[in-house]
Structure 1
Amino acid sequence: MKHRHEQQHQHQESNHGHHGHHHDHAHGDAHDHQHGHGGHGHHHHHINPDGNGRAFALAIGVNVIFVAIEFVYGFIANSTALMADAGHNLSDVLGLLVAWGAAMLTRSEPNRRYTYGLRSSSILAALFNALILMLACGAIAWEAVHRFSNPGPVGGLTVAVVAAIGVAINGFSAWLFMAGAKDDINIRGAYQHMAADAAISLGVVVSGLAIMGTGWTWLDPVVSIVIVLFILVSTWALLKESLRLVLAAVPDNVDAAKVAAYLATRPGVSSIHDLHIWAMSTTETALTAHLVMPAGYPGDAAVDAIVAGLKAEHAIHHCTLQIEMGTTQHDCALHGDSH
């Protein structure tokens, strides 16, 4: 059966037995609103944003200082690997600034123009971070290839010492974001940058020590290429996930089939259609669905229970449910809807 989505979001407020709508949002403050409109129930749950501001400020501060030191000593030691690492760290500082700005924008209140606020800016920040890392890879690889044909003397001791400091600074920065990385790909992007930098700096330490012991200056550009491959591998998953979220795909932590099965098996539900799931931000997921309930609107308590189950079992933070009795046929221009 086809369903025309555009024509089935009309609200028949005069007949509360046919339609029920439930909204559960996560906003920026900590108070709830309840509005009763017969068959329509709206819940707005406001949650406090996580406190990553101090982590961003500390990570940006120490990395800006280190980037300047690393680039200067990389130039003095004639080390492409060290200067490449400095350039990569500089791109990370830019990425951290974007991620921090997006994290702050997610706190903005909804308005008439942006009815969800600016939550989705965190998705754009994650995508931006992934793209910046990919561009950094290209720059590092380009310089390394040129160094193969024009090798020069490399100050191995300077390279090793400065890179060792980088291991400590980047490791500390990654630790700052470790807790928030599990549930937010914007924070995960920042964490991956810092963790990758720590591993990269460790590789530069090894190359510096190896050059000291062997005099093989070609190791410097080789390490640069290894750095590029490492960044590409670690960033690919972030790039794919952020692209999917930008395109309104179902987030990776939500199983659409299980959500459909959950809704279809609620008491009184004979079928469902027009099920859509997408990310409002890197931490919040939204859902809309039409539930066919031949007995009519089951009451606010029953709808509240469905919404609570979606949040607790399926990580759906904002849902809009439309209740229908199935007395008319619904056509939908969109394909692939759940029924």
Structure 2
Amino acid sequence: MGHGHGHGSALPAAGSASSRYVRRLAAALAIGATFMVLQFVVALATSSLALLSDAAHMFTDVLGVGLALLAIVLGRRSTPTFTRTFGMYRAEVLAALANAVLLFGVAGYVVYEAIDRLGDPPAVPGLPVLLVAVAGLAANVVSFLLLRDGAKESLNVRGAYLEVLADMIGSIGVIVSAVVTLTTGWRYADPLVGVAIGLFVLPRTVVLAGRALRILFQHAPHGVDVERINAELAALPGVEDVHDLHVWTLTSGMEVASAHLTIEPDADSAGVLSAARDLLARDHAIEHATLQVEPREAARRCEQLSW
């Protein structure tokens, strides 16, 4: 019976995709924290719901980026042990899910508050709101550019990136609201923009939460055809059957697989093991695979398992 634990050479030293974007996350955190304080102060002073909504989104940006950084630090410093065999890389996924919950709560509150204000919208001074919104937009654009590349590789970074994107759109909405207020004096512009910002954020939040839950429930990674993997492993020379095949994501950029391969009596177990590991790494980018190569007699034990 053969047992193989495969590792490729393509993974970064720190392990996860998120770890390559620590400096960019830190810069986005500093920018967001500075402008969050400014927005909250002006929003409270002017009673602007649109700016308050933008400030709340900026708060989730700051908290979300902070959670993302914390998760990466935990992942780096927590090496695998006998009680935490995969370390704490899942902290990144939990951070992304927490970001989604925060965004959903803030967006829901803003929509509720805006609808309540439509009956009697307060007068909002347009000029200070406009100036702060323009400054906030500039800050969000910088953070957006810093995180854009990382969002393609890491769910954790993508959570922070989506929050920055939502806040950038929100800043544009606040600018429109302030311009309308300045030029026409129409009081409904501010609460209506608040509703629009909230409705823009909600569906994107649901998508982010769904992707995080997919990982936490250990579903197959997005874009990985497990049925195809099963067929390709079964087609390897010397392999009679493939069973107990599992493919899941530990955290963004870290896909993991395990499987039992039943081999023919005269098959070379070491050769089958090497071919299977090469197939997973080369054709499916799965560098971390635990494969058990077993004769027919040993495979009968697996048939007795209920799950």
Q: TM-score, normalised by structure 1?
A: 0.83
Q: Secondary structure at the match of 1:150?
A: coil
Please name the residue that 2:98 is paired with.
Answer: 128
Match of 2:286 among 302, 316, 327: 316
CA–CA distance in structure 1, aligned partners of residues 58 and 216 of structure 2: 26
Please name the residue that 1:158 is paired with.
Answer: 128
CA–CA distance in structure 1, aligned partners of residues 280 and 134 of structure 2: 47
- Displacement of 1:29 after TM fit? 7.8
Q: Secondary structure at the match of 2:104?
A: helix
Please name the residue that 1:70 is paired with.
Answer: 39
Cα 1:316–1:29 shift into 2, 3 Å? closer
- Displacement of 1:153 after TM fit? 0.7
Please name the residue that 1:24 is paired with.
Answer: 7
**5 Å matches for 1:115-264?**
115-264=85-234
Unaligned runs of 5+ in 2: none
Please say if 1:91 is aligned against 2:64. Answer: no
Cα 1:230–1:296 shift into 2, 3 Å? farther
TM-superposition CA deviations, 1:60-112 (whole Å, max 9, x none): 11111101111111122221110111011112211111111111222221112
* Mapped contact 1:251–1:279 kept (Cα < 8 A): yes
Please name the residue that 2:306 is paired with.
Answer: 333
Q: Secondary structure at the match of 1:151?
A: coil
CA–CA distance in structure 2, aligned partners of residues 109 and 131 of structure 1: 28
CA–CA distance in structure 2, aligned partners of residues 227 and 49 of structure 1: 28
CA–CA distance in structure 2, aligned partners of residues 219 and 49 of structure 1: 39
Cα 1:135–1:286 shift into 2, 3 Å? same
- Displacement of 1:259 after TM fit? 1.7
TM-superposition CA deviations, 1:142-176 (whole Å, max 9, x none): 22122212311111222222111111111111111
Q: Which runs of 4+ in 1 moved over 4 A?
A: 25-30, 45-49
Match of 1:81 among 50, 54, 63: 50
CA–CA distance in structure 1, aligned partners of residues 9 and 213 of structure 2: 23
* Mapped contact 1:60–1:97 kept (Cα < 8 A): yes
Cα 1:283–1:83 shift into 2, 3 Å? same
Residue identity in the other structure for 2:304:
D
TM-superposition CA deviations, 1:26-62 (whole Å, max 9, x none): 89985xxxxxxxxxxxxxx978973322112111111
Please say if 1:61 is aligned against 2:57. Answer: no
Q: CA RMSD in A?
A: 2.2
CA–CA distance in structure 2, aligned partners of residues 95 and 269 of structure 1: 47
TM-superposition CA deviations, 1:178-217 (whole Å, max 9, x none): 1111121111111111111111111111111112122111
Unaligned runs of 5+ in 1: 1-17, 31-44, 335-339
Count of residue pairs the alignment pairs up: 303
TM-superposition CA deviations, 1:232-261 (whole Å, max 9, x none): 122221111101111111121322122212
